[in-house]
Amino acid sequence: MPKQLTIVVTCTDRKALSRAPRHEVRHLPDVALEVRARMWVDLVSAATDTRPLARLYQGEAWHQVSKLEAEVAAKGFVPRTLVASAGLGLRSVQSEAPAYSATFALGHLDSVGLDRSQNQMWWERIRSSRLADDLDDPFAGPTLLVLSETYASAMARELESLEAREDVLVFGGMSGLLEEQRFPSDLGLRSALGGTAISLNLRMATMWLQRQTTVKFDAERNRTEWDAWAESVRKSTVYNRQPVDDAAVAAWIRMVRESRPDLSKTVALRMLRDSGVACEQRRFGALFSAVTGKP
């Protein structure tokens, strides 16, 4: 009988269904995190317009999940895919949920926490709630964790129990967490792997499997072989952000501050750059202070 291999991936922002405002974290009241988490669980649990997660999530990165599953099957394993979600906890892709918006990314309208500590608290409460699947041992047997730094950080306390497991590998993840088992995100591989930066970790995991003749979870051997291949194909990445004038940046700051009055200058600059706009840090700081009246 083929052996099961568990794949853990992160959710995506794009959904196949339209989401109701009550299923957006931004509409939760400004109360203690524990209370907000309970309210969220009640709201999402009561939803009737649901779809299996495998068909709920969309986008280029989610398309790569099916490719990774196919490669796992091609290597003789039975793939079991779980989704790590700020809104749902840890769920099987066969389970159903409504469209929703919740994220561990900081500075987003639907951020569940203001910092890493709050993200971890939120994860623990959602993970232990009725929203999450009742999984006796979600990481039993061979496991591929394909996680962004943000999500790995939120899940860190749970993932620490997997330290030194020979049958666990991490693609992406967070520096210092499961470090001996980790293949860090490497933007220099995009030219070889294709796709967007968001799907890079998934493409790395798929490529790792494709390069295996016999899949062995041997961290030292895997790292040596992967590093040799990566070095042969790596190319430096040049960001191509679009410059805009001061008036446009100031207008953008006013817009985001209307929905997030507590948004910090640092997080706001990161959001602006992530949107593809170029802005030097000192210039942005001066504009931010001029718009908000804060240093």
- Examine the domain organization and report whether 94 and 33 are in the same domain: yes
At 242, is the pLDDT very low, low, confident or very high (cuts 50, 70, 90)? confident
Q: What is the pLDDT of residue 213?
A: 80
Q: Are residues 223 and 276 in the same domain?
A: no
User: Residue 200's pLDDT is what?
Assistant: 94
- Rounded to an integer, the average pLDDT of 20-49 is 97
Q: Say if residue 143 is in the same domain as residue 280.
A: no
Q: What pLDDT is recorded for position 153? A: 94
pLDDT interval class at 216 (50, 70, 90): confident
Last residue of a domain, one of 186, 215, 233: 233
Who wins on pLDDT, 48 or 254? Answer: 48
**Residue of 293 and 79 predicted with greater confidence:** 79
**Higher pLDDT among residues 255 and 23, named by residue:** 23
Looking at the fold, whether 226 and 246 belong to one and the same domain comes out as no
- The yes-or-no verdict on residue 71 having pLDDT over 70 is yes
Q: DSSP letters of 84-137?
A: EETTTEEEETTSEE---B-BSSTTSTTBS-SSHHHHHHHHHHHHTSTTS---S-
Distance, in Å, from the CA atom of 272 to the CA atom of 285, rounded to the nearest integer, reads 12
**11/136 same-domain check:** yes
Q: Please state, in angstroms and rounded to a whole number, the distance separating the CA atoms of residues 37 and 182.
A: 31
Each residue of 153-165: pLDDT tens digit? 999 999 999 998 9
| 216/249 same-domain check | no
Tell which of 205, 233, 261 closes a domain: 233
Residue 54 has a pLDDT of 97
Structural domain containing residue 274: 242-292
Residues 246 and 167 in one domain: no
pTM score over 0.75? yes
Do 12 and 84 sit in the same domain of this protein? yes
Instruction: Give the model's pLDDT for residue 278.
Output: 83
pLDDT band at 235 (very low <50, low <70, confident <90, very high): confident
C-alpha 196/C-alpha 203 separation (Å) is 10
* 170 shares a domain with 55: yes
Q: In this predicted structure, what is the pLDDT of residue 240?
A: 61
Model confidence at 55, pLDDT cuts 50, 70, 90, reads: very high
E strands, the chain, where? Answer: 3-10, 51-52, 77-85, 89-92, 96-97, 143-147, 168-172, 182-183, 242-243, 277-278
Do residue 51 and residue 23 come from a single domain? yes
Angle value at C-alpha 215, between 212 and 217, nearest 5 degrees: 115
Average pLDDT over all residues of the chain: 90
Residue 125 has pLDDT above 80, yes or no: yes
Give yes or no for residue 5 having a pLDDT over 70: yes
pLDDT (tens digit per residue) in 171-214: 999 989 999 899 999 988 998 999 988 899 999 999 999 998 88
More confident residue, 53 or 13: 53
50 plus 100 within the same structural domain? yes
**Do 250 and 200 share a domain, yes or no?**
no
The pLDDT of residue 237: 56
How many domains does the structure of the chain reveal? 2
Confidence at residue 67, expressed as pLDDT on a 0 to 100 scale: 97
Out of 185, 211, 233, pick the residue that ends a domain: 233
